[in-house]
A and B are shown apart, each in its own frame.
Chain A
Amino acid sequence: MKVLVTEYLRINLDSEQWECRRCGHVHGSARDNYKRGLLVYDRDPREIHKPLLDTKKYARTYSPDPTWCRILEYYCPQCGTLVEAEYLPPGHPPLHDIEFDIDALKLQWKDRTEVKEPVVGPDLALEKARNNRALHAEHQHGHRPQGDKP
């Protein structure tokens, strides 16, 4: 039984290992931080969010300040998939972002059917926004053309 945890990670409940969902690479114990099985690169944020303004004219150019912000890119060591992009101040300890109780997870999935492809949830928030915009479009705010009856 394998449990999908993110777009690129799953937990193999039988072997208790983190695995890559793209190539099957085994990253390490599911009881440990999955990041320990990945490769990390300290990316200058200006390479991803490129300056849009002339850097000779301006210091602030829509790029993050590289002395305040770095991007830690986590790659699968086998297929090179970008698993996470973590934005941190320089030198800040990386976050242990997923820490599941594996024994409880096994119990929880004991009676569930394995999910091989992630389900897609409904876009309820977007639906609500669109519904309301449609309602709002009907409002007049008192700006009726002259001569119209109220």
Chain B
Amino acid sequence: MSDIVSNGQAAETQAIEGRALRDKFLADNTLFLGPDPEIMRNHSLAPRTAAEDAILKAGMDPHRTHHIRGLINSALSEAFTMVNQMGAAPGAKWGDLVTGIYTNSGDLAMIAPHGIIAFAACCFYPIKFIIKYWVNDPTVGVKDGDGFIHNDARYGGVHNTDQSMMVPLFYKGELICWLSSTIHEGENGACEPGGMPAAAESKYDEGIKMSPFKVVENFQLKRDLVTFLQNSVRDPKLQLEDMKVKLHAVMRLRDRIVAILDQYGKDALIGTLRSHLEDVETEMRRRIRELPDGTTRVLQFMDSSLRESAMQKVSCAITVKGDRMVVDFRGSAPQFLNRSVNTNIASFKAALCTGLLQNVWPDLPHTMGVLSPIEIVSDRNSIMDAEGEMPQAMSLMPLFKACVVWTIPMSKFNYSLPHRYSAIIASQYDQAATFIYGGLTQHGEVTGNFCADINGNGQGARSHADGEHSVSPVFGFMADSGEHEINEEDTPIIRLGAQRLAKDRIGWGKYRAGMGYEQIATARGTAMWGFMTGCEGSKFPSAQGLFGGYSCPSYQLMKIKGINIFKVLEENPNAVEVFDIVELMNKQPIAGGQYSSNDMGMTFEVCNEGEIYMICQGSGGGYGDVLERDPALVMKDLAEDLMSHENAHDIYKVVYDEASLTVNEAATKKLRDQTRRERIARGKPFDQFCKEWVTKEPPANVPYFGSWNDPKTIYATSMGQRITMPADQLQGAFMLNPKDLRIAELEAELAQIKAKHA
């Protein structure tokens, strides 16, 4: 018997040794340490370490934990302010940054109160990569005074414009936690300036792609590596300055955390970070349990690849059962093989975490404990779960959708609750409506970046009030929309019109959405300058209304080319009465100008001195039936010149005196009652309507991507042909070059003309 046992033990020992040898061999001989799916596909908290377990089992003094949490918050806030004040990137100036602290397993525990949630919610991926691959690698290692940089979103991150500085904190020789600072830097040496190239057709067009590597030793930047990075981007000064800024902010943060360790000891800090995460996770489960069991669903449609019109479906079903929540994106559009609007699932989850905190539960602490208990399901190789070589430089498109995707379905879960944690709200405008720019400045320097107008998205209407105009970006409460004077000092961009609310471009409803503003820009005093824009929603509106509220309108990019507005104004200062997009386009006051209205996705285009580019920040979605809007609020919107009389009559059905804005209450009631009767007369019963309305396939004229009536079958247009794919075997869609298509079109026309004349 004992022989059998001993033989069995020996065989088991041998097997374990064999596996260890195999694992070591594989680890030592991995050809390329690419993004690790084991890290990148897991957004849940790591299991407690032995130390964490012992500390939490021994019990924590809640008052002391709360006090330490306050100290950490204050330290993070201080470091945030340092970066905000000293950072050179426009993103840093206007709040597009974060500082964060992570457990020694790499879990994101806390961020600066005003920081961008998504940045930190991405940063734990590269930290986990460093822990897994570099800590024990003799050629790298992790020691006190080291700092690591990273920007490639495939290793974790929103997109490759964002650069992080990640620093291990050692205390008495032991790695206690990690600290980080991230800024949207902008320029990264991509095929278009500004770091977000819609023209990228492969990941090799995206500019520099930093996997996590060591760039700081002994608390000092390694100059050889900094030089390499400077040499790889269009803005070498910015690259150096912001690396220094982030490092020194994190060093200050380190000092503060070391002071906490000195005062309270390492167990208190480790216990605080871990309990903070676990407490948030517990609270999340409690809140999920409060919701009704069941499923709510929403569809979002993205109408552009930023190179051509392409209708991409985002399908989202949220299912709650007890304290379990599953968010299912299956049936959504497939990835593009050669368009930049893909994202990977880790970035997508970071945006989901952001949106949940911004729109549904803003009172929860900003940690990864928020998303950790939620299960996310997607089709591999879909637009939000792109893998491998797929370009994702304009991942903002699906990521912004992720930020707002919660609002409609979660409002349907939350509305019934006896207690609400925040207002019921329609979707915020979700496009990156700003000018991305690049070229030579008036100071003769090369640059590329974006304007802070990206931060002026109109808020969705609420269940009790109108939305706020241009309130914030979808990815953060805190980022501001910038000061144009500062931008004009640094770049040749001149604002001919700015912050003028876009009249009549409103998400209508009982409560209307917050509106966006017009941006009218040109360039002056530069030998070479250009703009690009990266937005969808020119054919299909992007921000959804709630409970009968309408969406925002569609938005377009307007241009007046072939003129120099500075010369025009020099010759006749009164040539343009007002820089208002609708007036300029309809009245065409500048003689000789080529006026055009275009889709909002534009790859980099040269802007000659004085040519005019015009876009809008958008409105959110409206809330409730337009016929329930208080006529007094309609008059207020008219008085503030937010809307025209035509819409007051036709949309809101208010009868009033246009001169005095006095409402005729009785006539208004009569008109609204009549309108309701007309609705009843023209509406069809649902089942009958569906028989007539629903088609077997997407319309032939629409290049459609995603499921139609069966989530397991995915439609796409690839190589110019409509195809279908099983949802669990997605490959992707390859798009033809729009210029080739246009040339072929023109050649066909030419051939026809020649044939006619022959």
Q: Quick one: which of B680-711 are within 8 Å of A by CB?
A: 680, 682-687, 689-690, 693-695, 698-699, 701-702, 704, 708-709
Q: Is A148 an interface residue (CB 8 A)?
A: no
Q: Cβ of B548 and Cβ of A41 under 8 Å apart?
A: no
Best-buried of B309, B555, B625 by chain A (most CB within 10 Å): B625
Q: Determine the chain A residues whose CB is within 8 A of the CB of B424 once the complex forms.
A: 118, 121
Interface size (A, Cβ < 8 Å)? 88
Q: Do B84 and A139 touch across chains, with their CB atoms under 8 A apart? A: yes
Q: Which residues of A contact B675 (CB under 8 A)?
A: 80
Which residues on B sit within 8 Å (CB–CB) of A125? 358-359, 362, 422-423, 425, 477
Let me know if B757 is at the binding interface, CB within 8 A.
Answer: no
A128 near B683 with CB under 8 A, answer: no
Known contacts A49-B554, A53-B585, A128-B477: does B544 contact A87 (CB below 8 Å)? yes
Contacts A52-B505, A62-B554 given; does A115 touch B683 at CB 8 Å: no
Which residues of A are found within 8 Å of B695, using beta-carbon distances?
90-92
Instruction: Name the CB-closest residue of B to A68.
Output: B539
A-contact 0/1 string along B119-144, CB 8 Å cutoff: 00000000000000000000000000
Q: Which residues of B contact A122 (CB under 8 A)?
A: 363, 420-423
Q: Which residue of A lies closest to B291 (CB)?
A: A108
Q: Does A7 contact B623, Cβ atoms closer than 8 Å? A: yes
Which residues of B90-135 have CB atoms within 8 Å of chain A's CB atoms?
Answer: 93-95, 114
- The answer to whether residues A118 and B463 also contact, given A53-B582, A71-B550, A139-B85 and a CB cut-off of 8 A, is yes
Residue contact A64 to B699, C-beta cutoff 8 Å: no
Interface centre among B409, B595, B680 (most CB of A within 10 A): B680
Contact bitstring A79-95, B, C-beta under 8 A = 1, else 0: 11111110111111111
Is B498 part of the binding interface, using a Cβ–Cβ cutoff of 8 Å?
Answer: no
A73 near B418 with CB under 8 A, answer no
Contact B294 A124 (CB under 8 A): no
A45 to B545, CA, bound (A): 14
Known A-B contacts A58-B585, A67-B702; the reply to A141 vs B486 at CB < 8 A is yes
Q: Which residues of A contact B626 (CB under 8 A)?
A: 82
| Interface contact A129-B478, CB-CB below 8 Å | yes
Flag B584-613 by CB within 8 Å of A: 1 or 0 each. Answer: 011010000001111100000000000000
CB distance from A134 to the nearest CB of B (A): 11
B311 close to A (CB within 8 Å): yes
Q: In the complex, what residue of chain A is closest to B582 when comparing beta carbons? A: A52
Closest chain B residue to A115, Cβ basis = B418
Q: A39-B684, A68-B702, A83-B548 are in contact. Are A53 and B586 (CB under 8 A)?
A: yes
Contact of A64 among B293, B505, B553, B689 (CB under 8 A): B553
Judge whether B547 and A83 touch: CB under 8 Å: yes
Cα–Cα, bound, A33→B689 (Å): 14
Once bound together, how far apart are the Cα atoms of A80 and B683, in whole Å?
Answer: 9
Could you say which residues of chain B place their CB within 8 Å of the CB of A143?
486
- A133 interfacial contact with B, CB 8 Å: yes
A64: min CB distance to chain B, Å: 5
B605: min CB distance to chain A, Å: 17
Contact B553 A5 (CB under 8 A): no
A62 to chain B minimum Cβ distance, whole angstroms, is 5
Chain B residues within 8 Å of A93, by CB? 690, 694, 708-709
**Nearest CB in chain B: distance from A41 CB, A:** 5
Bound-state Cα–Cα, A85 to B461, Å: 15
Does B194 sit at the interface, judged by CB under 8 A? no
**Contact A89-B586, Cβ < 8 Å, known A5-B415, A65-B539, A126-B459:** no
Q: Mark B362-376, 1 if CB is under 8 A from A, else 0.
A: 110000000000000
Binds A, one of B41-49, B278-286, B295-303, B734-742: B295-303
- Any A CB within 8 A of the CB of B342: no
Interface residues of A in 1-41 (CB under 8 A from B): 3-8, 33, 35-41
Nearest-CB residue, chain A, relative to B587: A54
Instruction: Tell me, yes or no, whether A110 is within 8 Å of chain B by CB.
Output: no
Closest CB-CB distance, A19 to chain B, in whole Å?
13
Question: Chain B residue with minimal CB distance to A53?
Answer: B585
Chain B 321-353 interface mask (CB, 8 Å, partner A; 1/0): 100000000000000000000000000000000
A132 vs B296: C-alpha distance in the bound complex, in angstroms? 33
Partner of B676, one of A35, A80, A121: A80
Indicate if the CB atoms of A98 and B548 lie closer than 8 Å. no
Query: Do A75 and B540 have beta carbons less than 8 Å apart?
Result: no
Q: How far is the CA of A8 from the CA of B85 in the complex (A)?
A: 48
Residues of B within 8 A of A69 (CB): 301, 539-541, 554
Question: CB-defined interface of A111-150 with B at 8 Å, one 1/0 digit per residue?
Answer: 0110100111111111011001101100101010000000
Task: Evaluate contact between A101 and B293: CB separation under 8 angstroms.
Answer: yes
CB of B24 closer than 8 Å to a CB of A: no
Closest to A4 in B: B416
The closest CB in chain A to the CB of B472 belongs to A129
Nearest residue, chain B, Cβ from A7: B547
Per-position contact with B for A42-82: 1 when CB-CB < 8 Å, else 0? 10010111101110011111111101110111110111111
Taking a contact as CB atoms under 8 Å apart, the answer to whether A80 and B422 are in contact is: no
Residue of A nearest to B289 (CB): A108
Quick one: closest B residue to A92, CB to CB?
A: B708
A114 CB to nearest B CB, Å:
9
Is B441 in contact with chain A by the CB < 8 A criterion?
Answer: no
Say yes or no: A49 contacts B539, CB within 8 Å.
no
Partner of B651, one of A48, A54, A98: A48
A-B contact pairs, 24 of them (CB 8 A): A7-B415, A8-B547, A49-B541, A57-B595, A61-B556, A67-B699, A71-B550, A75-B680, A79-B676, A85-B551, A91-B699, A94-B686, A94-B690, A95-B299, A97-B296, A97-B408, A97-B409, A101-B321, A104-B293, A120-B423, A121-B420, A121-B424, A122-B423, A124-B423
- CB-based closest 9 A-B pairs: A39-B683, A80-B676, A121-B420, A91-B695, A100-B294, A49-B553, A104-B293, A128-B477, A132-B478
Binding site for A on B (CB under 8 A): 84-85, 93-95, 114, 292-299, 301, 303, 309, 311, 321, 358-359, 362-363, 408-409, 411-412, 415-425, 459, 462-465, 468, 471-472, 477-478, 480, 483, 486, 504-505, 508, 510, 538-541, 544-551, 553-556, 582, 585-586, 588, 595-599, 623-628, 646-647, 650-651, 675-680, 682-687, 689-690, 693-695, 698-699, 701-702, 704, 708-709
- Given contacts A65-B540, A108-B293, list 11 more A-B pairs with CB under 8 A: A39-B684, A39-B686, A40-B684, A63-B553, A67-B701, A68-B702, A69-B554, A85-B551, A93-B694, A113-B418, A120-B420
